Structure 1
Amino acid sequence: MDATAPDLTPISVMKLRLSGFCGGLVVLVPSTEPDGGVSMLNAGADHVIGFDTHPEQLRARLAALQRRIESTWQPPHPSPPSGISPHHLQATPWNVSDIALTARELGVLAVLTRNRDRVVTRHQLLREVWGFPPEAKTNVLTMCVSSIRRKLRSSEAPCIVRTIRGTGYILHS
């Protein structure tokens, strides 16, 4: 992807990742990029390469990324784990069938509900809901939890998903 394209922003990279895109994402940036592409990496890009990178080095970096993805990547679950649906979340204090949740959001809530009042690590949620390997570096979970909280607030449901800094999340009773 070319970072000089007008529609390529960190937000568009996040949206691509949140949509379930699981391929390697390489962004080409001008060498004059103020943050050196850090914002793209933080948004979900796997690698940032400068326009002035030598073609051989570019080919080698792309081949290395492809090898890493092929050896560790498992495709994300097409739906929430174990066929989770709103009726699996009846133990929650809100009626999720009245809230427009995505399959991933339902998956996160299902894992948190199953582990109510216990901290669920980021790694566990990324593995169970997205199928990501433990070493995955992504912010899709943070974005998903943020979306869950926003939807719960807008439906006037109590938001009881708490962040445990540096560890994961907990669903309080």
Structure 2
Amino acid sequence: MRLLLAEDERSLSRALRAILERSNYTVDTALDGDEAWQYLEYGSYDGIILDIMMPKLDGIAVLRRLRERGDLTPVLLLTAKAEVEDKVLGLDSGANDYLTKPFHAEELLARVRAMTREKAAQPDIRLGLGNLTLDCASFELSAEEGVCRLSNKEFQIMELLLRNRKRLLSAEHLMRQIWGYDSEADSNVVWVNISYLRRKLQRIGANVQIRAVRNAGYTLEVSE
């Protein structure tokens, strides 16, 4: 499942992302409300976690924009405020749930599971291109000659490429989205994981290739 996490405190954002990814969620992170809205304009998510007190655009404003355009993606609000009025405001604005800081990781995961339960009960989501299929529930990539299971990072790269098949995704974009803003990982990890994916695509007989455009990024291309 794909989540958007909007939290302006960098250390908390990193910690929450790590917790969610260990539970096999794919997570995009935003550090302010304006950035969160940009993700929501162009991306599709199974659940959204919004901190209320964010710069540029607060969580309630993001939530209201989302509901005004008819988007019913479940939303969990995070805040340091514990007053009843704030909870009522959030729920009246369209939030599905409300979690007050500080909280335990187990409670966050339980709230996320609860708000995405209906989505999880639906048939497995599969993304496809050419003869290639990515099963987002099992992390399996399949084509004419076989099936292979992807690592967490490989899966996130392939999912991003499939969901953005008409765009070039730069190494910097992949690094930021998958490893995070403050990751200490070397940027070469993107190239390494792309290399692993290319071998797996070849092994299963996919007619889809990962094409690199010099100084621009990566995209998927179907072979004739």
So what's the TM-score if we normalise by structure 2?
0.38
So what's the TM-score if we normalise by structure 1?
0.48
User: Which protein has greater RCO, CA pairs closer than 8 Å, 6+ apart?
Assistant: 1
Greater percentage in strand: 2
